[in-house]
Amino acid sequence: MSNEAKTAASAAAVKPETGRKKNRIGRRENNNHHGYYFIAPYAIVFTIFILIPVVLAVILSLTNFNAIQFPKWVGFLNYITLLTSDEVFMQHVLPNTVVYAVVVGIGGYILSFILAYALCNLSKVPRTIIALILYSPSMTTGVAMTVLWKVIFSGDQMGLLNSWLMSLGVLNEPVVWLSDTRALLPIVIIIGLWSSMGIGFLSLIAGILNTDEQLYEAGAIDGIKNRFQEMIYITIPQMKPQMLFAAVMAIVNAFQNGLISTLLTGNPSPSYAAQLIVNHIEDYGFQRYEMGYAACVSVVLLLIVQLFSYASNKLLTDKDPYGAA
């Protein structure tokens, strides 16, 4: 048999097998239903507990609903009332929420990063113990509110803060801190900062610890001389995902944390001095049973949180060097 005939025979023998391999690979590439099986549990839970409630809240915000009678369609009347006629919301609730979110959200985020960076310079055992101590208030806020902070800010001479200030001669008589409209919001902010070291704080520690040590060695060769320059030029650029996650968690926790003033003073707080948006929703939804209006306020809160989360995403997400977002 000639060489040309042998080459043609071998090519004919190989072709069907190659075609079969391509068909198998093609079938595997087109067979994506297993991926849908894996994502189905999360998709079902997300749809039932997040997507459907949000859609229902938006629909309910366009109605007048007292939790007994069938909802009555009123269109955008609730939103118009909120922005034009709700003096408590515009004069007290919204300013209090903005101040609280800026101080506790942004301030707590910066404080979390500083503490996480400081802890990462310690050895493993003290770092773990101190991190657990700082993280624990975020899990025990409700219990600590009734046991610790009410004792500290008690309005009689037995209150720890009153007793301490009177012993120093700063006060001549005890101050009823939890009824003082000037002191109530700062107290809530202090407690909010105390309990802000949550899961975002732990993610920052993880991001700092996972930074490649070789980058610090290369930075020292390139002229980085101190820890501050290491943090700015190496640590922060390498932990952008953890910083974005911590920023979103700080924003969400700051806007949804209405439990502090409720446990301290009840709802509403005295003269609405520490009334936040979440407290306003609870006031109208579960005390006045104006569910449609409460849903309207909750939708506004959702939009505010989304706006701040979008801004954080823009600030902390690396842009494509070729111009793509």
Provide the mean pLDDT of the chain: 83
147-174 burial, b at 16+ Cβ within 10 Å, e below that, comes to eebbebbbbeeebebbbeebeeeeeeeb
pLDDT reported for residue 1: 52
74-84: per-residue pLDDT in tens? 999 999 999 99
| Sequence ranges of the domains in the chain | 86-316
Radius of gyration of the chain (CA): 29
Give the domain 86-316 fold. Answer: MetI-like fold (1.10.3720)
19-66: per-residue pLDDT in tens? 454 455 455 555 667 788 888 999 999 999 999 999 999 999 999 998
pTM reported for the whole predicted model: 0.80
199-256: per-residue pLDDT in tens? 889 999 999 988 888 888 888 888 888 888 888 888 888 888 888 888 888 888 888 8
DSSP lists the bridge partners of residue 76 as: none
127-160: per-residue pLDDT in tens? 999 999 988 888 876 777 777 888 888 888 788 8
Q: Look at 11-25, 31-45, 165-179, 297-311 and tell me which has the smallest mean pLDDT.
A: 11-25
pLDDT reported for residue 174: 86
pLDDT reported for residue 97: 92
Q: List CB contacts of 322: < 8 A, sequence separation 6 or more.
A: none
